[in-house]
Amino acid sequence: MKAADKEAICRLDGMDYALRRIEKIGTEEFRKELKVRYRNGISIQIPPKELSDASDRIKEMCLDTVLTMATLVLHDEFDFGKKRVQRFYDRFMKKADCLRGDFVTWQDYSDIIKEELGINIKIRMND
| Ordered alpha helix ranges (H), the chain | 3-25, 27-40, 48-78, 82-100, 106-117
DSSP 8-state code for residue 44 = T
- What per-residue confidence (pLDDT) applies to 85? 97
Domain ranges of the chain: 1-46, 47-127
Local confidence pLDDT in tens for the 127 residues of the chain: 677 788 888 888 888 888 898 999 999 989 988 888 888 788 878 888 888 888 889 889 999 999 999 999 999 999 999 999 999 999 999 999 999 888 999 899 999 999 999 999 988 876 5
- What per-residue confidence (pLDDT) applies to 111? 95
Closest of 95, 101, 125 to residue 113, by C-alpha: 95
- What per-residue confidence (pLDDT) applies to 100? 87
- What per-residue confidence (pLDDT) applies to 78? 97
User: What is the C-alpha separation between 112 and 95, in angstroms, rounded?
Assistant: 13
